[in-house]
Chains A and B, each alone.
Chain A
């Protein structure tokens, strides 16, 4: 046989089988070509797929397989050698690629598998996060609810509103069926149903506090699930078909004000709790979630705080009301006291006046009686009457003074007075008594002590008399020394009185008076009592000395009014004592103007003997006036010469005349000129008679004129007996006259 290049099939072609194979190969080839196309398409589409070249390999593998199968189509029949070659190439390539691919897969599959695992892991994680997100959201909602609830609860300070709001809001937030609050009764042995959500006014349910379920709730600050059948949860009749919802109870501490400590929540000390019971709706299969329980606990705490705030507010309102009441009562009491004081003062003033008027009448008439002719016994009797009535008058005044001193309404009568004369007078008043007791009294006035001072003369004298009088009273023998000087600032400060700060100034000075006696002394322990009224011990405060009144208590008050201080030093019984006081006095203006403007003060001499033989010259051109003035002076015991003209006056006047009264209103006679001439005549002051002008008007101009020409005084006509008496004594004592 000749070898032909065509390959003949070994067996005879079964047409049907061949056809099926042919078709299958065709479709396989088709599929093998379309799959890579699809793969390429999808690879192109998906950017993230990491194994691109693996896909390419697969594609090649599949393409080649497809090619192989395709070429197979031609080999069914006679085919040429080229086809066989192509077929072989294709098969070889296919074999190559598939082997490489197989090898590759060994490496790739684990990776692919792990991708799957990671995917699963991530899915789990996502699920977990979802869960947690859910939780957080729930918590946030809970927080919001709590804040809202708290806000509602705390927006009011009214206890009832707080509690009602709590229940309402809780009911709303948690969608409760029922919410109830049980408050402890006053005894604390029972809990009473006070508020519920559904019923407006719950009546009369009480349960004893010592139930086990209640104790269980009270012993923890957590919300506790309790049985729906417990007495506190049984708020409505339970019908059999109800499947009651879960019930939770929580304690609400009722805090007292005293229980608050700053950083400690008082767990142990509060004994009183209220019980809050919350019930989920029945038949709802809802359960209490943890976050809901937490919400309930937080709310319970907030309620406790809100309640305590409300309690504090109530307390403070009550306290404020009490204070207002007290204020009103105090005000009333004060007004009553003021009324009483005023009434007392009025009474005292009236009494003073009523008692004073007849008193003054007695004194006046007795004085007049003294002036008339009396037998010695009668004179003695009249003097006694006068002395007693003067004393009584002083007492009456002192009572008024003391009452005014007590309520601070006493004011000092300030005036200018002669300080030296005051001391001398006190001495004169005390001397008789002292000499009876054979006590030696000495007075020493400092050289720099001003002669005149501004202050309350009468009360200063009272004080001085009292102090000196006490010294005399309590000394049986020995001596009493009275000294007065101007206090310098160092000596003013008494270490026992640290709040006494005397400040001397230009027109004030501090007078310091010391009365030292060698008498019975005082126990140092008794010294503080001396200045209190009616103190026991020494009876200093109860006895009277000459016109001094009610004693050291008054003295102390006077001294205080004069911005000073008084104290007594003593080394003990039998060692004598020293009374010291310091008072503030003013310094009078150094001008003659002032001298002429105040009324003469001085003891009114009731005796006429002072002026006996006083040589006086009267110059007046009016006969009647002259006679009257002469009569006046003669009545007072003077030796009077009268002249009716200036020349006569100058001719008649001698050194022996002590006073010249001249009328300066005489027409044609210049009285002032005469005065000047008299001055010229007598160069030495003590030789010259005192010149007093008599005039019908004492205006400023006249007075100044009189001053200028050197007159010693001015009197307003007509002159009364008393006035003349005063004038003369003033003149003779001071050699100068002060006339109002």
Chain B
């Protein structure tokens, strides 16, 4: 059927956005921010659960921020309770694994090693590292979700 000019322009825009989305996702995987687990999450998203990924990731952000605060406080103590620190890091590791935030998870693994050694300085450094990775990941994922939203608004389907 005959498409109007505006429709045509819209289709082109959607196409562009979709390409951008695909490229961005690919780059996240390439740079190691995300791993296969994230793909699994994407697979779980369907009509009955259309916002699954966003929901889980938001949950992740909430959880992580809480955890990071707890960790900062714990390490600021005079006498550091390494068991507690370890528990927190374990949680963070679990969460990041579950959504496929690879770099955060790797940072957590390193963190746990230093916890075992009960090395406060190293742990502080690790914490910084984790925080850094987390904010990077958060940024990236936020960008990704924005792109998704844009595509949805433009009326296209998000390529999976």
Contact = CB atoms under 8 A, between A and B. Distances in A.
Contact of A717 (B44, B55, B97): B97
B90 A624 contact: no
A623 B63 contact: yes
Given A631-B52, A667-B90, A720-B36, A622 B98 contact: yes
B36 to A, nearest CB: 7
**How extensive is the interface on chain B, given as a class?**
20 to 34
A622 B91 contact: yes
Contacts of A421: none
B136 interface: no
A696 interface: yes
B99 A624 contact: yes
B87 A622 contact: no
A721 B43 CA distance: 8
Interface string A700-736: 0000000000000000011011000000000000000
Contacts of B99: 624, 628
A536 interface: no
The 6 closest A-B pairs by CB, nearest first: A624-B95, A622-B94, A628-B98, A625-B98, A667-B87, A631-B44
Given A622-B95, A623-B63, A628 B41 contact: yes
B113 interface: no
Contact of B97 (A632, A718, A720, A721): A718
A635 B94 contact: no
A230 interface: no
Interface string B35-62: 0110011011010110010011001100
Interface residues of A, number: 21
22 contacts: A621-B91, A622-B91, A623-B59, A623-B63, A624-B63, A624-B95, A624-B99, A625-B94, A625-B98, A627-B59, A628-B56, A629-B98, A634-B44, A635-B43, A635-B44, A635-B46, A665-B94, A717-B94, A718-B37, A718-B98, A720-B36, A721-B43
Contacts of A667: 86-87, 90-91
Contacts of A623: 59, 63, 95
Contacts of B86: 667
Nearest to B39: A720
With most chain B CB atoms within 10 A of its CB, the pick from A627, A632, A663 is A627
A629 to B, nearest CB: 8
B43 A624 contact: no
Nearest to A621: B91
A624 B37 CA distance: 13
Contacts of A635: 43-44, 46, 49
Interface string A660-679: 00010101100000000000
A623 B58 CA distance: 11
B54 to A, nearest CB: 11
Contacts of B55: 627
With most chain A CB atoms within 10 A of its CB, the pick from B44, B97, B98 is B98
B92 to A, nearest CB: 9
Nearest to A637: B48
